[in-house]
Chain A
């Protein structure tokens, strides 16, 4: 492993102007170059950018992809969305652990290799997928995993690996007006300059455009509030955090339609009077960074960004900020905290981002797709946009379809399309359930396949995961519930503790240890978490459990023990440190936590002895 070179670190610090607002960016870079941000480096950075050591410490420990230890030359993160599971990521993990002689989450003895799972990497249409030093490898097979391990064991640098391994496919399966339209860079801007900001805003208002990130807030309303708010400066933020498991349509837009994304941001700046914009790119899409930087550079050369855009008295530029692995950073106020170099903890509202966003100045924060749609509306007019969709959800929606379907990929449909229509188009057969909108969305069964994708019925930021009858839906619930437990930011009590409690409950159910009482308890705990949590993560984290408890209760009941009570304390789990110390993992070293008819805990099969 490369030794820490403080001259190089100084260069990184200087590139970022030793600006405390860029702390996350600095640490992302250090992590990339050195595989970690050890305490000495951390303290050095704290002094250099003049923030408390505890802040740097806090940031390093907050984000998944930053670490206080140096993780080695090869840092492998295997995507662990349920769709990756269904495509066999556990086999891949087994092969990698075996061939690399490393245990998941623990550095290899020589300190060169680190291997772990991570939340959905946005490659569900071509899973199982992994990231190695931030670069994606998709469609993994055990054979390919073996080859990867071989190259790592031979210490071959990534640049010497076959280039096609790192190729990501963009499968546009069904193109609607967005995916079919290729707009010439600058056309929408020219149209906007002809209209002026006020008329452009009225046109967006008339189009009825609603945010595509999931919540469906009226875009024009947000922009108007921000435009009218007083401030030292106004800012535009594009939310490219795309963290909802099963969503990958922003990946496609950033790959194929980056011009439209940036042009939409520029239109936003024109309307609200901003000179600075940020695109917040999730860490998992770091591999798109060079491409996006190149598009920005080209747009500057074409006078579509920078000083005096297209000769008008209007200056605007865009900076790309990388995330560092945190689903909650997609929440817009948490995203802004991250942009300011902090832990991504959602802010208290009111005040709202539109009036108190970046540096507490008026800021618009919109989803990637929302900006693309703005570009198209500016170019083609509101009537064109209103021609598709429903009354309350005009226009089209990009859907990321994955799971048990013949043709996973991106589908563009007008709002109002039925779930069944989509299932037919993507070649889904024998479907048991569809998760619309990701883990935080809704799980529906065939009875409801006539329902429509729209803000007034089934709302989605784009995730559409399909499960056929061979799937164990409780394993799906377990995956999602673990996801939330791993992603809770820890700020508020109900979510910080509640996500852990829900995780324990589903694990207990899966292990066959739960009693009927547990089910009633889940509903009560869930309602406390939902009502009292600070942000959308906590408010939705119980959805997978609640939806399936409501629609598939027999699945749960078939796994209950007949006893009315099983202790919540995990005796076997408590023995884990003892097993670790005695280096034993045989059957007799385990306690099956089951009670006999007298309520006594009995050992698992094979262990025999009675307590």
Chain B
């Protein structure tokens, strides 16, 4: 291997990369899916959901934040990692209140889709049933914290794309939660708009537009048709694109 050899090995396959890319970026460019929830190509990686954990030269690390080095040996799609990712997704499910059968986001939800991808068939852990505040004060948007996985994508999108800082994270540990930048703490009193990029970024049903829930029937939605691994881009379609 010489200094110009920008390749690494992912699940036994030689992959080219551009210097400075993270493992996630290089894999995505090569058409390889690494499960993720808090990562979004448009924003600084945060590295918190840990779903993208891979084995890098035998040690665990986050694909979305780790820069690729030439010659790296990376395991991604292995039984060991899938089993651990299944436990992680189960943790996310029991931590919040996720009632998929009556959730508007069902079928378009990345959490649900990743759960299918890693073969989750039950919740395994006891549910926490936390009490979390629902915020329906905004005329066009709903913030249902029951479904929030604290990925901080809304925070980043509002800050970096909308230049607004509508959201922030507060609390510590299991009480970590999204808070809104307004004196009352209510979304309706903030400068949030349904046209914001942040309004379309939430991977789950926590931050969703009102009155769009059933425009497309369950069964015909994004991840109902295809596994999340073969489903780029991950953003749910906007109303204009809907049939």
Binding site for B on A (CB under 8 A): 39, 43, 52-55, 57-58, 60-63, 326, 343, 348, 350, 485-494, 496-501, 504, 524-525, 527-528, 531-534, 567-570, 574
Contacts and interface: CB of A to CB of B under 8 A. Distances in A.
B136 interface: no
B91 interface: yes
Given A52-B165, A490-B174, 7 more contacts: A53-B181, A490-B171, A492-B50, A496-B173, A497-B174, A500-B128, A528-B87
Interface residues of B, number: 43
Given A493-B49, A496-B174, A534-B47, A58 B168 contact: yes
Contacts of A348: 45-47, 62, 65
B170 A58 contact: yes
A496 B95 contact: yes
Given A52-B165, A54-B165, A531 B174 contact: no
B91 A57 contact: no
B170 A61 contact: yes
B48 A504 contact: no
A95 B51 CA distance: 47
Interface string B166-197: 01111111111001111101000000000000
Interface in B135-185: 149-150, 165, 167-176, 179-183, 185
B50 A532 contact: yes
B126 A498 contact: no
B173 A493 contact: no
B74 interface: no
Contacts of A43: 183
B125 A54 contact: no
A57 B185 CA distance: 10
Interface string B74-103: 000000000010011001101100000000
Contacts of A58: 168-171, 179
A488 B173 contact: yes
A493 B88 contact: yes
B53 interface: yes
Contacts of A500: 95, 128, 173-174
B168 A57 contact: yes
B67 interface: yes
B43 interface: no
A24 to B, nearest CB: 14
A569 B127 contact: yes
Nearest to B91: A497
A57 B170 contact: yes
A493 B181 contact: no
A493 B60 contact: no
Given A343-B169, A525-B87, A493 B50 contact: yes
A531 B173 contact: no
A143 B84 CA distance: 52
Contact of B53 (A57, A62, A343, A531): A531
